Structure 1
Amino acid sequence: MKKIIPIVAVTLLLSSVLAGCQSGNNAPSGSDKQASISSVDQPWIATKNTTRINTSDPTEAAVIVSQTLWTAQTKNNRPSSVVLTDVSNWQIAAVSADLIHHPNNGPILFTTKEGVPEATLAELKRLNPLGAEGNNGVQVVLVGPMASNVEEQLKTLDLKVDRIEGDEPAAVAQAIDTYYAKASGELPKAVIVGSMDSPEYTLPAVNWIAHMPEPLLYVTKDEIPDPTVNALKERGGSATIYILGPEKVVSTAVEKQLQEFGTVTRIAGKDIYENAIAFATFKDASNGFGWGITTPGHNLSLLTIDSTMLAIAAAPFSHLGKHAPLIFTEKDGLPDSVMEYMMTLQPKFQDSPAEGPYNHAWLTGDINAIKESAQGEIDDMLEISPAAGGNPHSGH
């Protein structure tokens, strides 16, 4: 039975605060003079332990996430480069998250079949990417199919553009793997293998690849596409392979075939919610792979299972700030398994709540995606409480 928690959260509007909160010794870039275009009146809504990206439009969400993490007020907080990919193709957008950390240190922003939306163009102007030193000064990487006018639109911004072409997800995943290795000078031995047909089981990988070098490669339930085979062969038989998802999305037959290319470990839960939790808690002690989040003092990124492109827009939350794995929730509140997981993370204090540590969660989606009551419940579950039990703030 789902536990009902009284809601006492107070919402705060953070838009102007977050946009200018970071300081440094470098002079402002000048890009702050370019105002971003957004139709979201309240981009951020916060409680004491949560911050909501207050839109369910993936293009707008990607812009707000970018504004949250890259304030672009100094050289220190401008991205090196930005990924642009089509908002209608989740498979290609998901694997492009591998470029968020390196070489880009930058967000994913979205294009459409019609070109580059005004919100995305305005955000590119505001960010004014520095150019990735390890990638020949590239400022924008186009990934996958693009509308014919995209490159013309980008020329007006005078940005150096590179392109990873292709329209087949497994082939684009391989191309990104190769691109990353060239830019970084090293091919990661470990890879994540996920289903290209089941985003709800594969998407937890996106936050990890935005944080660490391991790529996401694709399979179907019963087959390994040739591009994935070729990417694995590049590891010379010594790949460390992590399958994400249960046998119903990646079969045992595929698992056996993958063993030809190296060691194979399956990370899975019996349903979508437990699958994401399994990935958030997994840690391979032999190489450090995995979040291993099982104790208080962490951040989570919460979305509903039907928010596929929002999850990709929010992937940079695992790269900067309070690094966050993806956890799925429900519109009306926390599923029992997620409630139980968050209870294991709940901070406890001995003498004073000022001792810390503290938890936090990003929520991505408006109140039609995740209700206000659900945000309040999440906020309460993240709150620090006395180890002895009782009122968490009695006497404080």
Structure 2
Amino acid sequence: MRKITVIVALIIAFFILFVPGYILWLTWKPPEPIPAMITPNTTNTSRFLASNPADLSDEIANALFPEAGNNAPGGTIRVPADKWQAGVAAAPLIRWVNGPLIVDESISTVRVESFTQDVPGEFSESDPASLAAQIDTATAIIAGSPTTNILLVSEDPGFAIPAAYWAAQSGDTVLFANDELPEATREALSRRNGEARIYTLGVDGAALGLDEFGTYKNLSANNKITAALEMAEFYDEDNDFGWGFDLNNFGWRVNAHYNFVLANQELPEMAIAGVSLGRFGKFGPLLWTDRDRIPTLVNQYLWKAKTEYYTNPVEGPFNHAWILGDYDIIDSAVQGRTNTSQEISEYRSQGDYGLSGLEMLLVVWIVAGIVSAIWLVLYSWRRLPQISTMMLVTWGLLGLVFGPIGVWIYSMSYDQAPWKKDGMMASWQRPSFNAVMAASAMNRGFDGPLMLVISWIVTFLGLPLVVFQGPWFWLGNSMMWGIYISYFGALLLHWLVMHAGMFMMGSDRSYGQAVKRAFLPAFVSMTAMAVGMMGFMWWIQMVNLGSMPDDDELLWWGTTVLSIAVGWLVALPFDALLVKHDIQPGDM
């Protein structure tokens, strides 16, 4: 029986050492190469294959409002193809008309067709400042009053067009200025009677004397790249202004979804043709890119936006990016890198090839368990030779799973405890509490690792499914069968090998007599442990994590070890009763 116990213990120890190492190997091994392909739509990006602004705006309008769909627009806004400033000025109408912006090569003025509201049909002003002020008057009529929030932008498209995307979303007015405040812009601001909330991009509010019109906030940007990023990140909570996609989260899990629009910074007309994506569909802010590479700051921002899941990728959240133009405008390398940056992955932006902080703590615990097991075995072998082989391997397994906790209980059990020879084993005289902890440790040192290993093997091989009809259907689900197999498999080995062998060596009983004597303590203690373990395991994996981790995840191993520890706490009172009534020895 001693040989069988040692063999079983060695098999258990092999799995406890092998499985975490196997999982770490899966985590850190180089990824398999992915076959190259070019496609306009990937898992996290969609491309509009248009070569000019007119075709691009038509494609976007058809995608957002398909003819066969139930979501009809409230109208359309048409702007001339050669005047990106007209698109910026007209962007707030997307919100108020509730329809897409169309770039039209056949017109020279902004034209609006509204199916639901009385809106001026044409805006004929030619210079950008006057056109924006004229549209501001129209939006005031639709909204019932002038918008309080105002975007004041320069006539640099790199600054103005990112602002237009927020205007499309919010309906906030966009006005133009440069080194001086145009008269039309001044009149539009004056209509707010000193209550305007002005957000500037590319112009200086102090130099323009904006204090007389209300409050102002200069958004910080040195160039078009940082202007788009500032618009994406900025949020004024008091006035509900801005996208608020601030991703400076210092490594915390990204748990919200984000959408972006990527446009070639050298082609502002293409960017304004996509402004409807600031309002409809998977809407989001504009980010500037080059044709063949993503600027460094944009690339860093996209990677910070990368989302992570805890247990399964289906839990989300999911990001999406729109690519404006064909491959001559933005090439496939930019789209591919964008797609990769937005791909949902495991844990804190580490992808499939990294570990979370929680898993790193588990790795430390596993290493501590290995060190503890080695210390327990070597110390017992050199300093306590009277400990039987069965007890030696049990203490080793306890240290392997529970690490320093096993060392602490071992010290409590043998430090300054007098001993005597009792049959083929030695027995120690211990205080009641120490005797209970030693007896409980002997149980958990064998049945705990057994449950851990059998549970992993069952999960690795695949959980069975048995169909039951009626109200007891749940007894046949996969997790329940995993519980049955783990429990009964561990109980049989714990009872027939460890406990029976212990009672044989502690007295002159035959194996049959030892089996009868060992059943009650083995059954009571392990059943109490299994109830606590399985209940906690269900709660932490199915309720807190949302789904059961896979067998190749350290999170499965860690939550199972933690569940066994909880089961141990549940079993302690039962172990105390067994020791008190001399059913379970506490002196081995």
Tell me which interval the TM-score lies in, with the shorter structure as reference length: 0.7 to 0.9
Aligned to 2:116, which of 129, 133, 140?
A: 133
- 1:234 CA drift (Å): 0.3
CA shift at 1:46, angstroms?
A: 0.5
Bigger proportion of residues as helix: 2
Q: How does 1:230-309 map to 2 (within 5 A)?
A: 230-245=187-202, 250-251=203-204, 254-255=207-208, 257-294=209-246, 295=254, 296-309=256-269
> Could you list the per-position Cα deviations for residues 19-41 of structure 1 after superposition, in whole angstroms to 9, with x for gaps in the alignment?
xxxxxxxxxxxxxxxxxxxxxxx
Looking at structure 1, the residues matched to 125 and 154 of structure 2 have their Cα atoms a distance apart, in angstroms, of 19
Query: Cα distance, 1:8 vs. partner?
Result: 6.3
Measure the CA separation in 2 of the matches of 1:387 and 1:169.
47
Partner of 1:176: 135
Which of 61, 65, 73 aligns to 2:68? It is 73
| Correspondence 1:391 to 2:344 | no
Amino acid at match of 1:239: A
Matched, 1:57 2:89: no
Q: Which of residues 76, 79, 83 is equivalent to 1:89?
A: 83
Asked if 1:379 is matched to 2:339, the reply is: yes
Deviations 1:157-187 (A, max 9, x none): xxxxx11221111111001000011122121
Q: Deviation above 4 Å: which 4+ runs of structure 1?
A: 6-12, 392-396
Deviation at 1:392, TM superposition (A): 6.4
Shift of 1:317: 0.7
Q: Which amino acid aligns with 1:391?
A: D
TM-aligned CA deviation for residue 266 of structure 1: 0.9
Normalized per residue, the structure richer in strand is 1
After TM superposition, the structure 1 stretch with the greater mean CA deviation from structure 2, 227-236 or 162-171, is 162-171
Change (3 A) 1:283 1:59: same
CA distance in 1, matches of 2:75, 2:205: 39
1:352 aligns with 2:352: no
Corresponding residue for 1:189? 148
Unmatched runs of 5 consecutive residues or more in structure 2: 1-32, 247-253, 355-549, 554-588
**Cα contact 1:134–1:184 (8 A) shared by 2:** no
Aligned counterparts of 1:297 and 1:54: Cα–Cα separation in 2:
25
- Residue in structure 1 matched with residue 325 of structure 2 by the alignment: 365
Retained in 2: the 8 A contact 1:210–1:316?
yes
Cα distance in 1 for residues equivalent to 2:345 and 2:176: 42
SS in 1 for 2:136: helix
Structure 2: distance between partners of 1:303 and 1:71: 23
Equivalent residue letter for 2:175: L
- Pairing 1:210–2:168 present: yes
Bigger RCO (CA 8 Å, 6+ sep):
1
Q: Matches of 2:316 and 2:38 in 1, distance apart?
A: 22
Q: Check the 8 A contact 2:235/2:241 in 1, yes or no.
A: yes
Cα pair 2:277 2:284 within 8 Å, conserved? yes
Q: TM-score, normalised by structure 1?
A: 0.74
Code of the residue aligned with 2:136 in structure 1: it is D
Structure 1: which 5+ runs fail to align? 1-5, 13-44, 117-123, 142-161
Alpha-carbon distance in structure 1 between the residues aligned to 2:167 and 2:293? 28
Q: Secondary structure at the match of 1:203?
A: helix
CA contact (8 A) 1:81 1:132 kept: yes
Structure-2 residue corresponding to 1:323: 283
Query: How far off is 1:353 after superposition?
Result: 1.2
Give a deviation string over 1:294-314, Cα, whole Å, max 9, x none.
354110001111121111111
Q: How far did 1:63 drift?
A: 0.3
1:354 alignment partner, SS class: helix
CA contact (8 A) 1:304 1:328 kept: yes
Secondary structure, counterpart of 2:352 in structure 1:
coil
* Maintained 8 Å contact 2:47/2:322: yes
Residue matched to 2:98: 105
Letter in 2 for 1:111: D
Q: Which has the larger radius of gyration?
A: 2
Please report the RMSD computed on the Cα atoms of aligned residues, expressed in angstroms.
Answer: 2.4
Q: 1:392 to 1:207 in 2, by over 3 A?
A: farther
SS of the residue corresponding to residue 391 of structure 1 reads: helix
Q: Give the % identical residues.
A: 31
